[in-house]
Amino acid sequence: MRVMLGITGASGAPYAARILRALSDHGADVGVCASAAGRQVIALEIYGDRGMDGGDALERFVADHGSPDTRIWAERDYSAPYASGSSRTDAVIVCPCSMASIGTIVAGAEANLIHRAAGVQLKERRKLVVVPRETPLSSIHLENLLRLRNAGADVIAAMPAFYHLPQTIDDLVAFVAGRVLDSIGVDVTLHERWGESQVGAP
Ligand SMILES: Cc1cc2nc3c(=O)[nH]c(=O)nc-3n(C[C@H](O)[C@H](O)[C@H](O)COP(=O)(O)O)c2cc1C
């Protein structure tokens, strides 16, 4: 399975870390592309270091959470397979997804590889999952999210639930990551499912 994980500058880098780890454990062929703001958020939210170089943060992030085969693609490297519909990409996940990137994808402006890959998935009617995070949401944000949903994307908001009685932040993170993996058909159980109890099952 070929997957691109796009990481943009919304809060929520831990969700991306959990998704990357699960995809890598699953044996998926994963490419990672992070925007400049996404790299800044990784430095802050994963390594607690606001001053860390974004490129260094991304490399460390992929080494910590990916597999040795996980490839990093530069923000404007359109030689990546995800940039063309002629390459078969099973899923593009944009997590976390900023409102800026949502707006750019919806406008079809394709300003970087993440937006381009998202647009390719929509035009090819393949899987695109976005994980937006912002609050409160303006009517512009809400309308953009609706347009993206109507264009074929899965919108899985970074909204963890509490009915599984989370004990740790990782439980909350795993809930959102698990819903993303469900939506692309990766069969791992990161979170407890209502009516079942098998957290941690393979
Ligand atoms: C630490 C940090 C947290 C941010 N959190 C959010 C957020 O939760 N949602 C959002 O839409 N933008 C957020 N932003 C603003 C975006 O990063 C900014 O709009 C940026 O231009 C997005 O560009 P990108 O989509 O190319 O990453 C945040 C910025 C920083 C530095």
pLDDT for res 169: 97
Percent of the chain residues past pLDDT 70, beyond the cut = 97
Q: Which domains does the chain have, with CATH numbers?
A: 2-183 (3.40.50.1950)
**Cα(115)–Cα(107) distance, integer angstroms:** 10
If you average pLDDT over residues 1-18, what whole number do you get? 98
Identify the residues whose C-beta falls under 6 Å from ligand 1. 8-11, 35, 37-38, 40-41, 44, 98-101, 133-134
**Ligand 1 pocket mutation pick from 39, 95, 98, 101 by most atoms within 8 angstroms of CB:** 98
pLDDT for res 42: 98
* Span from the CA of 195 to the centroid of ligand 1 (angstroms): 36
Summarised one tens digit per residue, pLDDT across range 52-100 is 999 999 999 999 999 999 999 999 999 999 999 999 999 999 999 999 9
pLDDT for res 197: 66
- Tell which residue, 19, 44, 13, 14, has the closest CA to residue 5: 19
Helix (H/G/I), strand (E/B), else coil: 146: helix
Summarised one tens digit per residue, pLDDT across range 98-131 is 999 999 999 999 999 999 999 999 999 999 999 9
- pLDDT tier at 194, thresholds 50, 70, 90: confident
- Tell which residue, 10, 19, 4, 5, has the closest CA to residue 173: 19
